[in-house]
Amino acid sequence: MSSSITSKHRKQMDRGGVDLVIRNAQLLLESGLVRGGVGVSGGVITIIATDEHLPDADTTIDAKGYILMPGLIDGHAHIHDPNMLSHESFQSGSRAAAGGGVTTLIDMPLTTQVDSVTGLEEKIQQGISHSLVDFSFYAGMINSENISVVPILIDKGIAAFKAFTCEPFQVGAGVITKALSEVSEYGGHLTVHSEDQGVLDEFKKDMDGEWDAPISHSLARPNLAEQIAIRQNVSLAEQTGGHLHIAHITTREGLFEIERAKLHGVMVTTEVCPHHLVFYRDDMNRLGPRSKMNPPLRTKEDRAALWSGLLRGIIDMTVSDHAPCPIEKKDAGKEDIREAWSGVDGTQMILRVLLSEGINKGRLSFTRLLRVASRNPARIFGLYPKKGVLRIGSDADFVIFDPNREEKITADMMFSKCGWTLYEGMTMRGAPVMTFVRGIQVYGEGKILSKPGRSEFQVMGGGNRPRGV
Ligand SMILES: [Zn+2]
């Protein structure tokens, strides 16, 4: 304990021990919504009570009309690639997170490998210096050369590893089998971008002469590619007993494979991105190259299946797959969609999409919202119950939102470095109003209210991942 913490504690004792009280809210607990508020001391929740039982504090916030839930954990976000800082960085990406109610970012490698202690430690330093919100990391991309680094990085607090079954980091079933065995031995998980390269190679031939139409990007990557890859990965998880996490599910067929595997007791979890919950394939020619990402937008029926999977608990969590780029890299695909960067903004949109398209359209309940956005990612990454829950002793990471506020989405309100948003011009109902990281308000009413320097690297606990989150 440093002396500054000791003096801080002494000051808290003098005034009854509470730094911050948020009252008059509806609290989103694991059991549902209840009226009341929270008290925070030293960055952790110390009181959860009805309003008449809340003490006075230095800072008191009236949250009348709003709902308070644990901050979101964005478990798949490409925020800080040291060689791609023109796309995003901890400075800009963590502001986007704060503006979306995200209090913990799990950064995933974009193009630069994170497969050494040195590379990891450099990224941790970048996060501590520049991030507004708490953070941790995926390591990867796992291949036959770097697989031996798994136990070393787990020892450093990283328990999440990424691999691909398709380009540009394609590995075969042998590597995935070994990686699943290795990570499970140490209590981690392997996340696999699951599209079958053989299917992609063959189907893209059908699009020759049609690449000027953005929808060709989706048609060249059929649902079958996802289904085949998931089926194979699930069988490897079944054989090894390792925890397989399927990245960004998009298809009915893929979801069916996961549901069947879960029913058979295979340790498999999955995630969905906001763009796949909002848009569908036919939007691509209207939206142009901005709507290019992998896996691509699918059909309306697939989109409906994703909402159903989220509500029924087949999909465990929501993530952004935040991977925007300078607009020139999108415009490069105006004549030929193959030339455009694949990836969109997202971390500022997860909660907005879940409220506007989920809660307010009757596709999602509040208790599922809590599970998929906060609680389940905390469990999957071994951060629970420090993160992801309103509980005495948990970190005071909150988002306070107005479930009814109408907002027109424009690039002006977005904090990403990219300067554009896929959601431009949409009117959405339900918006984050304030965000707190360990008791410090980082965002309020459209403005960033804090400076970097207080964020903490989160060690993934491992071992806290029961079957079926
Ligand atoms: Zn990604």
DSSP codes joined into one string, 192-213: EE---HHHHHHHGGGGTT-TTS
Bridge partners (DSSP) of residue 160 are 189
The string of pLDDT tens digits covering residues 154-184 is 999 999 999 999 999 999 999 999 999 999 8
Least confident among 41-45, 148-152, 336-340: 148-152
Ligand 1 centroid – CA 247 distance (Å): 8
Is the per-residue pLDDT at 469 higher than 60?
no
Question: 312 with 401, same domain?
Answer: no
Ligand 1 centroid – CA 323 distance (Å): 7
User: Does residue 308 fall inside a structural domain?
Assistant: yes
Ligand 1 centroid – CA 399 distance (Å): 24
User: Does residue 469 fall inside a structural domain?
Assistant: no
The string of pLDDT tens digits covering residues 308-364 is 999 999 999 999 999 999 999 999 999 999 999 999 999 999 999 999 999 999 999
Distance of alpha carbon 324 from alpha carbon 468, whole angstroms: 31
Distance of alpha carbon 108 from alpha carbon 131, whole angstroms: 15
The string of pLDDT tens digits covering residues 215-229 is 999 999 999 999 999
The CATH number of the domain where 172 resides is what?
3.20.20.140
- How confident is the model at residue 170, as a pLDDT? 96
User: Does residue 202 fall inside a structural domain?
Assistant: yes
Ligand 1 centroid – CA 260 distance (Å): 25
- How confident is the model at residue 16, as a pLDDT? 58
Active site residue 321: yes
Ligand 1 centroid – CA 321 distance (Å): 5
- How confident is the model at residue 423, as a pLDDT? 98
Question: 215 with 341, same domain?
Answer: yes
- How confident is the model at residue 186, as a pLDDT? 85
User: Does residue 458 fall inside a structural domain?
Assistant: no
Contact 311, 368 (CB under 8 A): yes
Contact 281, 287 (CB under 8 A): no
Distance of alpha carbon 355 from alpha carbon 351, whole angstroms: 6
Is the per-residue pLDDT at 465 higher than 60?
no
Question: 196 with 251, same domain?
Answer: yes
Report the chain's C-alpha Rg in angstroms. 21
Question: 217 with 117, same domain?
Answer: yes
Sequence-separated (6 or more) residues with CB below 8 Å from residue 287: 214, 279, 422
Is the per-residue pLDDT at 464 higher than 70?
no
Question: 64 with 79, same domain?
Answer: no
Ligand 1 centroid – CA 30 distance (Å): 29
Return phi, psi of residue 374, to 5°: -130, -60
Ligand 1 centroid – CA 270 distance (Å): 13
Nearest alpha carbon to residue 447 among 95, 104, 128, 102? 95
Contact 238, 266 (CB under 8 A): yes
Ligand 1 centroid – CA 322 distance (Å): 7
Distance of alpha carbon 150 from alpha carbon 191, whole angstroms: 13
Question: 30 with 173, same domain?
Answer: no
Question: 183 with 267, same domain?
Answer: yes
- How confident is the model at residue 5, as a pLDDT? 45
Question: 60 with 89, same domain?
Answer: no
Contact 220, 336 (CB under 8 A): no
- How confident is the model at residue 3, as a pLDDT? 40
Bridge partners (DSSP) of residue 106 are 136
Q: Which residue type, as a one-letter code, is found at position 161?
A: F
Q: What percent of the chain has pLDDT over 90?
A: 93
Residue range 194-214: mean pLDDT, rounded: 96
Contact 189, 218 (CB under 8 A): no
The CATH number of the domain where 12 resides is what?
2.30.40.10
Is the per-residue pLDDT at 1 higher than 90?
no
Ligand 1 centroid – CA 113 distance (Å): 13
Distance of alpha carbon 176 from alpha carbon 160, whole angstroms: 14
User: Does residue 422 fall inside a structural domain?
Assistant: no
Question: 91 with 13, same domain?
Answer: no
Q: Which residue type, as a one-letter code, is found at position 37?
A: G
Contact 325, 343 (CB under 8 A): yes
Residue range 260-285: mean pLDDT, rounded: 97
Ligand 1 centroid – CA 162 distance (Å): 9
Ligand 1 centroid – CA 431 distance (Å): 24
Residue range 39-48: mean pLDDT, rounded: 97
Is the per-residue pLDDT at 466 higher than 80?
no
Distance of alpha carbon 42 from alpha carbon 102, whole angstroms: 20
Q: Which residue type, as a one-letter code, is found at position 460?
A: M
Residue range 460-464: mean pLDDT, rounded: 63
The string of pLDDT tens digits covering residues 53-67 is 999 999 999 999 999
- How confident is the model at residue 400, as a pLDDT? 98
- How confident is the model at residue 204, as a pLDDT? 95
Question: 167 with 54, same domain?
Answer: no
User: Does residue 466 fall inside a structural domain?
Assistant: no
Residue range 72-101: mean pLDDT, rounded: 97
Is the per-residue pLDDT at 424 higher than 70?
yes
The string of pLDDT tens digits covering residues 223-258 is 999 999 999 999 999 999 999 999 999 999 999 999
Question: 161 with 281, same domain?
Answer: yes
Distances (CA, A) of 251 to 29, 51, 194, 265: 31, 45, 11, 21
Ligand 1 centroid – CA 294 distance (Å): 8
Q: How confident is the model at residue 461 (pLDDT cuts 50, 70, 90)?
A: confident
Neighbours of ion ligand 1 (CB under 5 A): 321
Distance of alpha carbon 254 from alpha carbon 272, whole angstroms: 12
User: Does residue 416 fall inside a structural domain?
Assistant: no
| Active-site position among 283, 321, 345, 395 | 321
Contact 182, 147 (CB under 8 A): yes
Distance of alpha carbon 175 from alpha carbon 67, whole angstroms: 45
Least confident among 274-278, 395-399, 458-462: 458-462
Ligand 1 centroid – CA 87 distance (Å): 14
- How confident is the model at residue 119, as a pLDDT? 95
Ligand 1 centroid – CA 77 distance (Å): 6
Residue range 83-96: mean pLDDT, rounded: 96
Strands 398-408 and 67-70: antiparallel
Question: 121 with 240, same domain?
Answer: yes
For 8, the domain range is 3-68+394-406+429-448
User: Does residue 368 fall inside a structural domain?
Assistant: yes
Per the structure, the count of domains in the chain is 2
